[in-house]
Structure 1
């Protein structure tokens, strides 16, 4: 998918350029920071639903995936359904990417928000297996696939949009808003989940209490629509009318860049879903800590991420993206498994908090530099779709992190195995950094960025 085109100059009859945003119309000034908030709000809803699903995976598993293998099997099936949505992201990146090319990025962001809202509503209201039988888990899986399909282009469109509206020399900071907005969802889901857990009994939580945070997410959808409807018209004149086949052919021509981009994203997706979506279940099922303790740690992780992401984005504008990425990926590879062994040796609130805050700092610094690097590395003619496909391919792996960690612990009996999985992801990203000699010559849209 091409770069976001520039709206036509109101005083010119000529065609608009592509790849950058035009200035505001006379008499009307738009603040880039306001459009950045509006563009990022859809990421908040998407991640909120993902977090609630991860936090209450055990209850969702009992409701929709009862299994003869007991609670462990139900939990694994629930996490597998959580991960299944990510398998649709590459398809969404290509199919929705070509469609958004035709209707424009602003309208495309409205479409992806609508699809995500439908998926959240289905999960919140769907009767359980005891009422509908096999129809229930099938429809829940379909809702997750729909959300994954829409998310396939959501992140790419938002990241490229933020890069296009960034003032000179602040591209890293602005693009970091995409990931930072997701941390608000982590914190909101953890805070609301903790409140509901404190007010309801365990039996009520298992029966219906887990639906309350999902219904709360549905309630904020109208506000998100209002915010996105007022988004600046960065896409008034789409650069081309690409079909899905044309987008796919372009991506195949740049398949090496897409593969290296996926390697870059690998550590981001694995570490994020490990320290957020997996933490509540890991704390309860493996470390035998209380639900409130695990959710409190998750809230602190979201707050930590929210701090480090823009710090890293702004720092990358000054010192460059690659030094930050190399340092944090190397530290992750060296420390993840020993840290998890230390935690598993004597589980406690303090140790869980300390371990995850360290991993959060490494994730935040890496991702804050990596996202903007990827927007610069992908060639201009396939910037949004290329970014989306690279990111989506990595989430096909990272999204299964809760399921993979659960399976690894079951097979080995070693509670520290999530650290080994995270180490492997860091090594993949290190290889991607060394292979990506970017930015791509045709990709840099902000000359002030390093």
Structure 2
């Protein structure tokens, strides 16, 4: 045992380092995504002025969603690039595009300064971020899966999602300190930009980490790397797997955006809790999300993906309605924390399992493209649409607990997809490679 330890220790350190470098870009992506949701009311006033507060908020979340619609485009275009050129180079390119979008939003003048150009510029920034984010999660997940040790693929890929929670934690800390140190009027005027500026300052450091990534052995071992046209053709041929993957991912995306991006707005504007309370809940959610993701991945490595996916999806469907109705009946910090902790558990365990599932059911030679497309569709059509849908449902129904129906819908699709993918106890077979 003592003889093997010296050789094992460098390998462990090397893998930990690779996980850190690969997931660093997720920090920037999620840091900005969370800030956009948390400061949505202030962004609405700065770029989408309106006499109707709900209309301005819907416009802001609408831009948030339009950016997400670029995810499938990015998944196909950048996914094909990564499957052809390599994981390392592709992840550097996606980071560069994401950085440009972040800088644009941080420095864009307000509507009062440049008029209609302001929301147009913000939209461009969001479109660039969405284009990049379309393949960021898939590219990182595939990279982690391809460097995973045998029998631990779920555990390794879970750190893609777990890493994003660090960004939410840091963003919540920054927001909390900002609210404690600056008057509300100052934050509303220009102070909300400070966290975005901090994101810009982080960019060079993340670039340094990404540049030191090594290519995965699995990609280097491929005898032939498909051309862009071959990747596109194969993605179309495997449309059924992509759709099922999307359905499995929907519960992850809807729950995640509900407990992170939408929670601060929900706590402040709907439940009428303080900004500090909403931030503290979000901060604690980020901590538990980080913990539950690797737990879910490791658990699915031991007992299988199907039982974990089905159990969590069923629990989410059964408890979303009573939990939210209990919360909105008499909102308190403690009740909001309890409900968010429940959803955090669902998200973390399910997400940690779902990532390993998607990597395994898509064809290896177009793994990044198909994985990214499945998740991008889930995020664009459902996940990042969550804040908009939640705001719209509450406004139209008058029921503050109505967002539960959106979460229940995601759970239903997850159950159907998991039963289809793992019918007979075995995952559906991957399709053969499609020749150009």
Rounded Cα–Cα distance in structure 1 between residues aligned with 2:142 and 2:81:
16
Aligned to 1:247: 231
Aligned to 1:434: 419
1:6-33: CA deviations, max 9, x gaps? Answer: xxxxxxxxxxxxxxxxxx9xx9997222
Confirm or deny that 1:227 pairs with 2:209.
Answer: yes
- Scaled by the length of structure 1, the TM-score of the pair is 0.90
Q: CA deviation at 1:315?
A: 1.2
Q: Aligned in 2, Cα 1:142/1:406: closer, same or farther, shift over 3 Å?
A: same
Rounded Cα–Cα distance in structure 1 between residues aligned with 2:430 and 2:13:
28
Confirm or deny that 1:378 pairs with 2:370.
Answer: no
Confirm or deny that 1:408 pairs with 2:393.
Answer: yes
Q: Aligned in 2, Cα 1:288/1:239: closer, same or farther, shift over 3 Å?
A: farther
Q: Aligned in 2, Cα 1:442/1:422: closer, same or farther, shift over 3 Å?
A: closer
Q: CA deviation at 1:67?
A: 2.1
Confirm or deny that 1:357 pairs with 2:341.
Answer: yes
Aligned to 2:308: 324
Aligned to 2:374: 390
Q: Is the 8 A contact 2:293 2:351 kept in 1?
A: yes
Confirm or deny that 1:54 pairs with 2:42.
Answer: no
Confirm or deny that 1:80 pairs with 2:68.
Answer: no
Q: CA deviation at 1:233?
A: 2.5
1:66-87: CA deviations, max 9, x gaps? Answer: 124x221111111111111110
The correspondence for 1:110, drawn from 55, 72, 92, is: 92
Aligned to 2:25: 42
Task: Map 1:11-410 onto structure 2 (within 5 A).
Answer: 31-68=14-51, 70-234=52-216, 235=219, 240=224, 242-396=226-380, 397-410=382-395
Q: Aligned in 2, Cα 1:194/1:35: closer, same or farther, shift over 3 Å?
A: same
Rounded Cα–Cα distance in structure 2 between residues aligned with 1:324 and 1:98:
31
From the two aligned structures, give the one with the greater helix fraction. Answer: 2
Rounded Cα–Cα distance in structure 1 between residues aligned with 2:151 and 2:404:
36
Rounded Cα–Cα distance in structure 2 between residues aligned with 1:142 and 1:430:
36
- Listed as ranges, the gaps of 5+ residues in structure 2 are 1-6, 432-436
Q: Is the 8 A contact 1:378 1:439 kept in 2?
A: no
Q: Which moved more, 1:376-385 or 1:292-301?
A: 376-385
Q: Is the 8 A contact 1:308 1:364 kept in 2?
A: yes
Q: Which moved more, 1:98-107 or 1:378-387?
A: 98-107
Q: Is the 8 A contact 1:309 1:367 kept in 2?
A: yes
1:290-344: CA deviations, max 9, x gaps? Answer: 1110000000100010111111111111111111110000000000111000000
Q: CA deviation at 1:370?
A: 0.9
Q: Aligned in 2, Cα 1:440/1:239: closer, same or farther, shift over 3 Å?
A: farther
Q: Is the 8 A contact 1:376 1:440 kept in 2?
A: no
1:350-403: CA deviations, max 9, x gaps? Answer: 000000000100111111111101100112222111100000110111111001
Rounded Cα–Cα distance in structure 2 between residues aligned with 1:323 and 1:102:
35
- Listed as ranges, the gaps of 5+ residues in structure 1 are 1-23, 444-450
Q: Which moved more, 1:58-67 or 1:96-105?
A: 96-105
Q: CA deviation at 1:432?
A: 0.9
Over aligned residue pairs, what C-alpha RMSD do you find?
Answer: 1.7
Q: Is the 8 A contact 2:84 2:228 kept in 1?
A: no
Confirm or deny that 1:423 pairs with 2:408.
Answer: yes
